[in-house]
Amino acid sequence: MDDFLDKLKTVRSGFFKKMRLLFILDLIIITSIFYTIFIILNMQFFLEKSFANPQIPLNIIPPVLALVIAFIGAFILHRKDKKANVTILIEDKYPELNERLRTAYDNRDESNVIIESLKSYVSEMLGKVSASQLFSKSRIAAKIIVTIVFIVAAAVILITPGARIPPSDVSNFMNTVGGNLGNITNDTLNPFADVSMDQNIAGKTGSGEIFGKPNIAPVEGKPVDLTLQAGGGLGNVPKDYDPSQNQFIKSAAFPVDVLGSNVSDGGYSILMKKSETEKELINKYAIERSKI
């Protein structure tokens, strides 16, 4: 194996070690964040209220859960780390190796004067390459500072009881949220429950509200029974019905079969006394008036 390949392998190994360090820093940061949140929210109180006879100590659940969430988050953040092209990163950081390193690597199995000279130059330059130089120093410093800050914050909150939400507040909050969710569920599953109750009350008391079903209604000052009679077959014969009432009355002034009783003839008898000429004139006048 050529000398420059050994040096390139060493740089790659150092690079991925630094990436694992960044992964660990992100893991610690995320764990500290979620563990701090669990402490502030008094997660252990929730667990003690939910599990009467736990099989494991409840105080280890918050840190373990925070660590699991941190592993998932850090894995998502660093899922592309293994795909990093170290050769490209070296050439970007060291312009004197631009394209030379890739050319030497692509022709590593070749042997001639030009290729050997190129390999010798690349090997010499790789001796000056440091894996740490491939990372942004500000990025690494920022991660270290953030990690320290969250570790200290988690430790302070852990030893400061006043930083946690009181269990009574948590219990009241849970009861309030549970009551509201119960009301929302009931309203969603049975939105007309209250309406039906109001209808029953209104139908019995005759209060006449918008959803009510009053049995008695005043019409022109007189109470009228609105109750529907139970029928049988195709219809229902109303009670106290007299066919002789409200009959049409025939008269000479109304030469029609069905006439309204006690109604004026509206001048029909006078019209019938007119001559044929007058009737024709009146008819033409009526037709002309209808066209206006």
Between 3-40 and 86-93, two packed helices, what is the crossing angle to 10 degrees? 100
- The radius of gyration computed from the CA coordinates of the chain, to the nearest angstrom, equals 49
Residue 222's φ and ψ, nearest 5 degrees, are -115, 135
Q: What is the pLDDT of residue 72?
A: 95
In a domain, 140, yes or no: yes
Q: Let me know whether 291 and 272 are in one domain.
A: yes
pLDDT at 67 over 90: yes
Whether residue 264 is found in the same domain as residue 215:
no
200 and 270 together in one domain: no
| Residue 195 or 66, more confident | 66
Q: How many CB atoms lie within 10 A of CB 30?
A: 20
pTM for this entry? 0.53
Confidence at residue 30, expressed as pLDDT on a 0 to 100 scale: 93
Query: In whole angstroms, what is the distance from residue 224 CA to residue 215 CA?
Result: 9
pLDDT of 28 > 90? The answer is: yes
What residues make up the domain containing 177? 166-191
pLDDT at 193: 52
Domain membership flag for residue 25? yes
Per the prediction, the chain carries an average pLDDT of: 75
Query: Do 41 and 153 reside in the same domain of the chain?
Result: yes
Last residue of a domain, one of 209, 225, 241: 225
- Residue 240, sorted as left (phi over 0), alpha (psi -120 to 50) or beta, turns out to be left
214 falls within a domain? yes
The 10s digit of each residue's pLDDT in 118-152 is 889 998 998 888 888 888 888 888 889 999 998 99
Statement to judge: residues 154 and 102 lie in one domain: yes
Q: Show the tokens assigned to 69.
A: 């969430």
Spatial separation of the C-alpha atoms in residues 292 and 283, rounded to whole Å: 15
* Co-location of 205 and 69 in the same domain: no
d(C-alpha 144, C-alpha 25), whole Å: 7
Model confidence band, residue 252 (pLDDT cutoffs 50, 70, 90):
low
Q: How confident is the model at residue 261 (pLDDT cuts 50, 70, 90)?
A: very low
Q: What is the pLDDT of residue 80?
A: 87
Does residue 231 lie in a domain region?
A: no
Q: Using the structure block, give the residue that is written with the tokens 């049988």.
A: 232
Output the six-digit token pair for 27: 């893991």
Structure tokens at 251: 């008269």
Domain membership flag for residue 59? yes
- Please report whether residue 233 resides in a domain: no
Residue 243 falls inside a structural domain: no
Between 60 and 234, residue with greater pLDDT: 60
Average pLDDT over residues 67-82: 92
Cα pseudo-dihedral 29, 32, 35, 36, rounded to 10? -120
Share of the chain above pLDDT 70, in %: 65
Which of 191, 208, 235 is a domain's end point? Answer: 191
Residue 42: HSE in the Cβ half-sphere, 13 Å Cα cutoff:
18
Looking at the fold, whether 148 and 15 belong to one and the same domain comes out as yes
Neighbouring-strand partners of residue 219: 222
Check whether 268 has a pLDDT greater than 70: no
Closest CA to 246 of 260, 265, 236, 266: 260
What is the C-alpha to C-alpha distance for residues 95 and 88, in angstroms, rounded to an integer?
11
Residues 203 and 256 in one domain: no
Whether residues 46 and 118 fall in one domain: yes
Question: Would you say residue 280 has pLDDT above 60?
Answer: yes
Q: Could you tell me if 100 and 211 lie in one domain? A: no
Domains identified in the chain, total number: 4
Residue 279 lies in a domain: yes
pLDDT value of position 24: 93
Q: Are residues 83 and 145 in the same domain?
A: yes
Q: What is the DSSP letter of 192?
A: T
| Tens-place pLDDT, residues 232-250 | 555 455 555 555 555 555 5
As a whole number, mean pLDDT of residues 192-201 equals 51
The length of the chain, given as a count of residues: 292
Same domain, 60 and 106: yes
Close Cβ partners of 232 (under 8 Å, ≥ 6 residues apart): none
Please check the confidence at residue 167 and state whether its pLDDT lies above 50: yes
